[in-house]
Structure 1
Amino acid sequence: MKFSSFDHFRLSSQFLIASFPVIALCTILVGSWVGYTVKNGVAHRLGGDAALYVDTLLSHRLQFRPGTHDLTPASITALDSFLVDTGLEKKVAALYLWAPAGKLIYSKNKTLLGKSFPVSEGLSDAYAGNIYSEIISPSNNEPENDLRDLGTLIESYAPIRREGTDEILAVAEFFMTTEELNREAEMAELDSWLIVGAVFGAAYVLLFQIVRNGSNMIDAQRASLREKLDLVTALNEQNSVLHDKVKLAAARVTTLNEDFLHRISADLHDGPAQDLGLALMKVETLCDACETCPRKQELQERNDRESPTVRALLKAALGELRTIAAGLQLPDLETLSIRQVVMRSVHDYQIKVHMPVDVVMPEEERDVILPVKITLYRILQESLLNGYRHANGVNQRVELWYDDSCVHVRIADGGMGFDLEAVPEHGHLGIKGMRERVEALGGDFGLHTCPGHGTVIQAGLPFRVRSDEHA
């Protein structure tokens, strides 16, 4: 099983897999440590009991040659029969008696008597009046080489005191077999293993139950979140489709709106404008049609007074109507490039106001859809006219550039600017109209101005709208 697939398991399964080796290892370590501690404790207890027993039995058997630490032959003979007479032969494998400075004064191996050996830690501790015990494996060094075939033994040192006093006559070193030790240690170790295993097992089961409950809760929450995420994803996809449809509809509306304005312009020109022109002609010839009228003189005087005013009003209305009709009708933009659309808008503006405009554009061309061209033309038309009305056309500048998906335009002037916060909510309808045109196609619109620093209008329009082949 690859480790990378471990994350695919439930949390409870991960806990079960990951924690079992840890729990097992901890159980083994704790059980082994408890067994080792118990074993050493039993060894010290057995050694201590045997040391007290040996001290009691040996203290009255030790007889030394006068002025020396050497035992008398009778004392050595008594010690040879000590183990047999007292029934310790099965438990005590060997017995040594030590005089100060590491001199061996008793051993079954009589060739070792009188020799001196390095003072061990146990011998030194026993001469200080303490009982010392440890579990050892006999070495090949004298005097232990006679015991090397016996395996593990309990080595004990016990001080032998003169009866009724604290005077240490000698130190007894004896080696005991580990049969009793192993029996008690195995029982204690088994008990410790059972207790430790039961405690860790209960903790393991309890923790697993807690983790499993948490895992079930997390799985339920995860399933709920997955359902909600699927619902949100579906709604987001629907919103994306609706957003694309809105932008597509806006592009269509932009084109249809211009067609509608063109139709209104034609209707105004062919309808009311023609009627006003005919009415003007009739007013100018009205007096000639009344030559036989008996009130000719009166009508002539009245015509002389009112006809100039009427003719002036009709001419003004006719001129304004033709201007409105011309403003409503766009030039044919579909065949023009972006550069040509910009230059056409600037040219139409300059014809009206006779003011210079600085134009900066890249040499390259990009293909855009008709609604983008219409919106670009209207933005330039409205921005330049606003710059003329409110900034007297000072330092007007048009910049055009592209990025990967949009065409950007910036229209700036050097006028006095204005405070946007001070503009009433219903004011600057032209700016609102430009913003709505741009944002309807999914573009960005920005206006930057402040008193004394001119006005900058910037817009970014996408080259195409999704599914715009049907726009």
Structure 2
Amino acid sequence: MSLYTAVTAGPFDRSLLKIWKGLSLDCRFATLALFLAIASTFAIGGWVSRSIENRILSRSSGVASVYISDLVSPLVQELASSDRISAERRDQLDALLVSGALRLHVVAIKVWNSSGTIVYSSSRDLVGKRFAPSQSLLNAFAGAITSEVNEPSAESAPEFSEHDAIFEVYAPVYDQNTGKVIAVAEFYEDAAELVDVVAIAKRHSWMFTFFILSCNVLGFLAVVHGASRIIDQQRDQLSQQINQLSRAVARETALRTQIERGAQNVFDENERFLRALGADLHDGPAQLIGLALLRLDDGAGGVNRTSLEQARTAIAEAMRDVRAIAAGLLLPDISGRTLEDCLAATVRNHEARTGTSVTLVCENLTTECSDQVRICVCRFIQEGLANSFRHAQGIGQRVTVVGETDFIRVTVSDSGPGMPKGRVSDGSPHLGLISLKNRLESLNGTMTVSSWPRRGTQLVARLPLKMEKPDAV
């Protein structure tokens, strides 16, 4: 292989490999099957034609051996003691080709003696000549009958001049007394019929083999094509499932991060809430109760009406503060109630506690939800109304709850002065906006805050009706 061929063969092979990899499974199978069918057709056709040719040659060899033993052998027995055939015997051999039984099949006869010399030939020019013995001639002297269809040679040229194909048979001639091989008779038959038979058999075998293999290939191709389509469909489905799984994993990862962040924020807000609650209890009811105790101590030596009145007033204020704090933390009983009943109870509690009026609108609340969702919605309304009362003096308080297909949307609004930008929590005992947002995110919900100067504030929460735990990755 030249250097140019070695260099240029690489990219060509890579191109073929790329084209092969780009073919579908059924196309690959069809290509290989077609190649194997053609190769098998030639192989089987050649084997069948050779088998037919060998059978015909074997049959012809058997016929030739009969001719030699019955017709030729008696006429050449003198070769057992001589190197030549007499003129009388040559004339008798010539007569076999003219009027005898051999004239129907044999076109020429040669007789070889043991020294490799032609002692008789239907072509007189070859008599007395010696040629290098062929393997078939040597096998015949060894006692074997051989037959073959050969190319023209120096000693068979006269026969080929009149016939397109010659069939040669070499048969040993035995001494009738001793049984030894004394000569070899070579018959030349017209092989045109043999060639035609072999050619027809070869064509028929090729056609039949190709037909059978084509039927098998088409049958297998149909099966492979169906399997290839199923594989392609399954590959597409698997790709879609992988994409869906990837998106689900991404959503789950984002949700897990959101839940973890919400849980941490809820923990922090609870800590701040507890500190604020402790400070309020210390600065409010605790101080008032302490003042009442001091007034009682002042009146321990005698009844001081003024001290008793001040103590009673301080204790009453402390009780009001404690009740206000407790009322801001407690929810109505939700067990056995529908969501609409829980919402109405929460609004009524706020109205009773603050002395304000709230408009409640509920739409499409036909689907029941879990206790977690009911608690979250009630807390959201409770905190939203508390902020509205605190910052907007309860002006235009409105609660709208709308049920969607799988979600619920809660809106708490007022008509107050609005909320300053950037303010998310006022430090009150209530959970505040950040705490509300964290609670909603822990339930896979969302919250938006909108506020307009002199037009009021609006809180909107949206969360799913049913809570589902994400599958572990």
Could you tell me the TM-score, scaled by structure 1's length?
Answer: 0.52
Partner residue of 1:197? Answer: 210
- Whole-angstrom CA distance in 2 between matches of 1:10 and 1:67: 79
**1:65·1:72 contact (CA, 8 Å) conserved in 2?**
no
Is 1:104 aligned to residue 111 of structure 2?
Answer: no
Could you tell me which amino acid in structure 2 is paired with residue 198 of structure 1?
A: F
Partner residue of 1:128? Answer: 142
Render the CA deviation track for 1:11-54: whole Å, top value 9, x for unaligned.
Answer: 33332233211222212221122223322332332343234224
Pair 1:280–1:18, CA change in 2 (3 A): farther
Partner residue of 1:274? Answer: 287
Equivalent in 19, 44, 51 of residue 37 of structure 1: 51
- Whole-angstrom CA distance in 1 between matches of 2:99 and 2:188: 18
**2:166·2:189 contact (CA, 8 Å) conserved in 1?**
yes
Equivalent in 17, 26, 37 of residue 40 of structure 2: 26
Q: 1:280 Cα shift? A: 7.0
Pair 1:104–1:209, CA change in 2 (3 A): same
Render the CA deviation track for 1:199-241: whole Å, top value 9, x for unaligned.
Answer: 3123222222322333344345445445544543443343234
Pair 1:9–1:104, CA change in 2 (3 A): closer
SS of equivalent residue, structure 2 residue 143: coil
Equivalent in 220, 227, 232 of residue 214 of structure 1: 227
**1:91·1:177 contact (CA, 8 Å) conserved in 2?**
yes
Q: 1:282 Cα shift? A: 5.6
**2:139·2:145 contact (CA, 8 Å) conserved in 1?**
yes
Is 1:187 aligned to residue 200 of structure 2?
Answer: yes
Partner residue of 2:72? Answer: 58
Q: 1:136 Cα shift? A: 1.4
- Whole-angstrom CA distance in 1 between matches of 2:124 and 2:244: 98
Render the CA deviation track for 1:158-178: whole Å, top value 9, x for unaligned.
Answer: 123466985544210123332
Pair 1:281–1:170, CA change in 2 (3 A): same
SS of equivalent residue, structure 2 residue 74: coil
Partner residue of 1:239? Answer: 252
- Whole-angstrom CA distance in 2 between matches of 1:87 and 1:136: 24
Identity %: 28
**1:12·1:208 contact (CA, 8 Å) conserved in 2?**
yes
RMSD over equivalenced CA pairs, Å:
3.6
Range that drifts further, 68-77 or 230-239: 230-239
Is 1:250 aligned to residue 263 of structure 2?
Answer: yes
Q: Gapped runs of 5+ residues in structure 1?
A: 294-439, 441-471
- Whole-angstrom CA distance in 1 between matches of 2:29 and 2:180: 64
Q: 1:3 Cα shift? A: 4.6
Pair 1:215–1:48, CA change in 2 (3 A): same
**1:63·1:72 contact (CA, 8 Å) conserved in 2?**
no
Partner residue of 1:156? Answer: 169
Partner residue of 1:260? Answer: 273
Pair 1:292–1:44, CA change in 2 (3 A): closer
Range that drifts further, 170-179 or 42-51: 42-51
Is 1:82 aligned to residue 61 of structure 2?
Answer: no
Partner residue of 1:309? Answer: none
SS of equivalent residue, structure 2 residue 99: helix
Is 1:143 aligned to residue 155 of structure 2?
Answer: yes
The count of aligned residue pairs is 289
Q: 1:97 Cα shift? A: 0.7
SS of equivalent residue, structure 1 residue 34: helix
Pair 1:289–1:30, CA change in 2 (3 A): same
SS of equivalent residue, structure 1 residue 68: coil
- Whole-angstrom CA distance in 2 between matches of 1:279 and 1:268: 15
Aligned residue runs from structure 1 range 293-372, under 5 A: none
Aligned residue runs from structure 1 range 155-174, under 5 A: 155-161=168-174, 166=179, 168-174=181-187
- Whole-angstrom CA distance in 2 between matches of 1:292 and 1:240: 72
Range that drifts further, 251-260 or 126-135: 251-260
Q: Gapped runs of 5+ residues in structure 2?
A: 1-14, 304-441, 443-473
Could you tell me which amino acid in structure 1 is paired with residue 155 of structure 2?
A: P
Pair 1:107–1:274, CA change in 2 (3 A): same
Range that drifts further, 16-25 or 41-50: 41-50
SS of equivalent residue, structure 1 residue 130: coil
Pair 1:54–1:247, CA change in 2 (3 A): same
**1:94·1:174 contact (CA, 8 Å) conserved in 2?**
yes
SS of equivalent residue, structure 1 residue 82: helix
SS of equivalent residue, structure 1 residue 137: coil
Aligned residue runs from structure 1 range 396-407, under 5 A: none
**1:97·1:172 contact (CA, 8 Å) conserved in 2?**
yes
Render the CA deviation track for 1:56-92: whole Å, top value 9, x for unaligned.
Answer: 2222333637942321122223334432333756854
Partner residue of 1:313? Answer: none
Pair 1:292–1:193, CA change in 2 (3 A): closer
Q: 1:273 Cα shift? A: 5.0
Range that drifts further, 88-97 or 179-188: 88-97
Could you tell me which amino acid in structure 2 is paired with residue 196 of structure 1?
A: T
Pair 1:268–1:148, CA change in 2 (3 A): farther
**2:173·2:185 contact (CA, 8 Å) conserved in 1?**
yes
Could you tell me the TM-score, scaled by structure 2's length?
Answer: 0.52
Q: 1:270 Cα shift? A: 1.8
- Whole-angstrom CA distance in 2 between matches of 1:53 and 1:124: 20
Could you tell me which amino acid in structure 1 is paired with residue 216 of structure 2?
A: A
